[in-house]
Amino acid sequence: MTQFDLFNFDFDKDSFESKSRDNGFTYWYASELSAMLGYTNLKTFDKAVNKAMTTCNTLNIPIFENFEQIQRVENEKTFNDFKLSRFACYLAVMNADNKMPIVAAAQAYFATLAGAVNNYLAEADNVERLVIRDEVSEREKSLSGVVHVRGIVNYGYFQNQGYRGMYNKNIQQLKQLRKVDNGRTLLDFMGKEELAANLFRITQTELKIKQENISGQIPLENAAYSVGRKVRDTMIEISNVKPEDLTTQQDIKKVKSNLKSKSKEMKKIDSKKQKKDK
């Protein structure tokens, strides 16, 4: 399916705009947005909304200004719903299932609003990157806590072994290959698939250590290396691409900066719309 083909599937932008409500805050109901995207179950779409809230939190943008959980009554049935700002709608759509044709068309529309009409697929990937990157940080903290009570003396050596297993290079060598400054982490320049692979490596390393009751500097390093090696072998088997050959992506700090700017721009869109409607 080409980018042009996506526009053969209808995301009714006029209907979307008409469904906005205003009580001092322009919002859309998540239930109505999910139906427009082709979801038949609001609970399924809730996953995208939850990811959107995580993204918002990662950006240090107040969640309460963009998401409000409420109870609604419709056809004599009470159900949980969300009031979503335009920016919250944007984040939810970008975190939705783009294998659904209407979702893909909606992503193109929202990217247009965000000033990225010719690259909406990269836009969606970058939004998803933020969620995975945040989760990697949390799992790294968890792994660090586990190994420090099991006898790790030098965490840097332990961490390097995980990278050596997965990339056939230590952290410093990989930074040189990808031209990443020493003061930055490699994770901030990885695409979503590579981040997901590292998330799997980290969680499985922690699981192996716990299940096999591994302790001591060298045994823990060996565990990190062996899990990294298995992840490497699996990635090569599936994609025929070595992990170290994956391309460097846009700096996650730049992604965050761009998204914060989009939040402000979308507020301006609604401010102009409110003035026009008066």
**Higher local confidence (pLDDT), 120 or 88:** 88
Residues facing 83 on adjacent strands: 29, 68
Q: Provide the pLDDT for residue 25.
A: 86
DSSP state of 76: T
Reported confidence tier of residue 118, pLDDT bands at 50, 70, 90: low
Q: Is residue 142 over pLDDT 90?
A: yes
pTM of the model: 0.84
Q: Provide the pLDDT for residue 160.
A: 97
Q: Provide the pLDDT for residue 4.
A: 35
Residues 210, 202 contacting (CB under 8 angstroms): no
Residues 137, 45 contacting (CB under 8 angstroms): no
Mean pLDDT of 172-180: 96
Mean pLDDT of 167-182: 96
Mean pLDDT of 100-109: 90
Q: Is residue 248 over pLDDT 80?
A: yes
136-144: long-range contacts, CB 8 A cutoff, minimum separation 24: 136/187, 136/195, 136/198, 136/199, 136/202, 137/187, 139/199, 139/202, 139/203, 139/206, 140/202, 142/206, 143/202, 143/205, 143/206
Alpha-carbon gap, residue 63 to 40, rounded angstroms: 26
